[in-house]
Amino acid sequence: GIQVEQSPPDLILQEGANSTLRCNFSDSVNNLQWFHQNPWGQLINLFYIPSGTKQNGRLSATTVATERYSLLYISSSQTTDSGVYFCAVRLSGNTPLVFGKGTRLSVIA
């Protein structure tokens, strides 16, 4: 099946710093989502981005489908950005979303 690899696995940032999280996938996909899981377990949708670039406030994401990767940019990080960031992809048709193992981000004041 499709492989989804996220890097780095863990990241510690000083408040105000910028960061880039990466998601590599092993096959062509027709659906890619980024989620933020907060400390209480809630998965929050950040981006639905099978290709191209999107921005939402301090966050932006770029997916280069032909090269099988996606990047999530966090600028001017805040302590509330802490949590685990997941990338999930769908291969095609009726296949389910496949999740990466996540990047655990800790933003310290």
Partner 1 sequence: ETGVTQTPRHLVMGMTNKKSLKCEQHLGHNAMYWYKQSAKKPLELMFVYNFKEQTENNSVPSRFSPECPNSSHLFLHLHTLQPEDSALYLCASSQYMGLDNEQFFGPGTRLTVL
Q: Which residues bind partner 1 (CB under 8 A)?
A: 30-31, 33, 35, 40-45, 48, 50, 86, 88, 90, 92-97, 99-102
Q: Which is nearer to partner 1, 31 or 62 (CB)?
A: 31
Q: Which is nearer to partner 1, 48 or 55 (CB)?
A: 48
The two three-digit tokens of residue 27, written as one number: 């096959």
| Alpha-carbon gap, residue 64 to 91, rounded angstroms | 15
Among 22, 24, 97, 28, which Cα is nearest to 65's?
28
Q: Which is nearer to partner 1, 40 or 109 (CB)?
A: 40
To the nearest whole angstrom, how small is the minimum distance from the Cβ of residue 37 to partner 1?
9
| Alpha-carbon gap, residue 55 to 44, rounded angstroms | 16
